[in-house]
C-alpha cells in the first residue's frame, strides 16, 4: 500500500467509526484536525504522513466511542497492524494516540514532533469560532445552560472561588479550559495559530457580556 492508499484507507476507517458520533468527535472534527496537523507538520518539518494517519485515527480510540480506553486503543492497533507494515511508524502512531487520549489536557508531554503537531491541531479545534461552536453544541447536548451571571466568573481571578458551583455553563468552560490552551501549545506555528483564535474568543466574550447586559445597567 502506498501513502495515498494508506491515507484513503485511514479516512474510510475513521468515517465509518465516527460517523454516528454526536459528542464533538465527529468526522468533520477529525478532518479539520488532520488538515491542521498536516499544515503544522509542513511548517515544523515533521513527518506529514505520520501526522495525517495519527490525526485521522486520534478519536477512533476515544473512550466515549468505546467500552473502555483499552478497547479503543486495541481497535486502532488492530487496524494499523493490518494496514501499515512499518513497525516503527506503527508504534509511533499508537504512542501519539495513546498519549493524547490518556493524558487529555494536562498530562504527559508529547515525546515526538509529530505528536506535538497532532496535539496542537486537536487543541486548535477547541479554539476560535469552531471552538465556540463546539462548546455551545456540547453544552446544549448535555442540557447545560449557556451562561448564568450568578455563577459564572467574568474575572479569571475569581475562578477558584466559583469553582465548585460555576462548573457546567458553556461560558465557564472558556475559563476552565479554552482560554488556557494557547499557553499549552507545543509548536511555534501552533502557538501562532492559537493566538488568533484566542483573541477571537476574547472578542466573543466581551461582545457576549455587552449584549447580555445591554440596557440592564
Ligand atoms: P477533545 O477533542 O480534546 O477530546 P473533549 O472531548 O473534552 O475534547 O471535548 C470536545 C468538545 O466539547 C470541545 O470543543 C470542548 O471544548 C467541548 N467541551 C468539553 N467539555 C465541555 C464542557 N464541560 N462544557 C462545554 N463544552 C465542553
Ligand atoms: Ni479530537
Pocket test of ligand 1: the residue of 106, 123, 135, 148 to mutate, having most ligand atoms within 8 Å of its CB, is: 135
pLDDT tens digits along 145-173: 899 887 655 555 555 544 444 467 899 89
Whether 27 contacts 19, CB under 8 Å: yes
ipTM of the complex, rounded to two decimals: 0.95
Separation of 105 CA from ligand 1 center, angstroms? Answer: 10
Whether 120 contacts 187, CB under 8 Å: yes
Q: What local confidence, expressed as pLDDT, does residue 62 receive?
A: 84
Q: What is the biggest distance separating any 2 CA atoms in the chain, rounded to whole angstroms? A: 66
Separation of 59 CA from ligand 2 center, angstroms? Answer: 6
Instruction: Residue count of the chain, please give it.
Output: 217
Which residues approach ligand 1 with their CB closer than 6 A? 24, 122, 126, 131, 134-135, 138-139, 170, 173
Cell of 100: 493524547
**Which atom of ligand 1 has the smallest separation from the CA of 104?**
3
| List of domains in the chain | 1-105 (1.10.472.50), 127-216 (1.20.58.1910)
The mean predicted confidence, pLDDT, of the chain is 88
pLDDT tens digits along 22-78: 666 789 999 999 999 999 999 999 999 999 999 999 999 887 778 888 899 999 999
Q: What local confidence, expressed as pLDDT, does residue 192 receive?
A: 98
Q: What local confidence, expressed as pLDDT, does residue 150 receive?
A: 75
pTM (two decimals):
0.90
Amino acid at each position: 500500500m502506498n501513502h495515498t492508499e494508506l491515507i484513503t484507507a485511514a479516512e474510510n476507517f475513521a468515517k465509518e467509526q465516527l460517523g454516528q458520533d454526536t459528542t464533538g468527535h465527529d468526522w468533520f472534527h477529525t478532518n479539520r484536525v488532520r488538515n491542521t496537523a498536516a499544515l503544522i507538520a509542513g511548517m515544523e518539518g515533521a513527518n506529514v504522513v505520520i501526522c495525517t494517519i495519527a490525526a485521522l485515527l486520534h478519536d477512533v480510540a476515544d473512550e466515549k466511542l468505546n467500552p473502555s480506553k483499552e478497547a479503543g486503543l486495541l481497535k486502532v492497533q488492530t487496524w494499523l497492524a493490518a494496514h501499515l507494515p512499518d513497525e516503527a511508524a506503527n508504534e509511533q502512531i499508537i504512542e501519539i494516540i495513546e498519549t493524547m487520549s490518556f493524558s487529555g489536557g494536562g498530562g504527559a508531554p508529547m515525546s515526538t514532533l509529530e505528536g506535538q503537531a497532532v496535539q496542537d491541531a486537536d487543541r486548535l479545534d477547541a479554539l476560535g469560532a469552531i471552538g465556540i461552536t463546539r462548546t455551545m453544541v456540547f453544552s446544549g447536548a448535555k442540557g447545560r445552560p449557556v451562561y448564568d451571571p450568578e455563577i459564572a466568573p467574568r474575572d479569571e481571578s475569581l475562578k477558584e472561588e466559583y469553582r465548585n458551583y460555576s462548573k457546567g455553563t458553556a461560558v465557564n468552560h472558556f475559563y476552565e479550559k479554552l482560554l488556557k490552551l494557547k499557553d499549552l501549545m507545543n509548536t511555534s506555528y501552533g502557538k501562532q495559530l492559537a493566538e488568533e483564535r484566542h483573541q477571537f474568543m476574547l472578542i466573543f466574550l466581551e461582545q457576549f457580556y455587552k449584549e447580555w447586559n445591554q440596557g440592564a445597567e
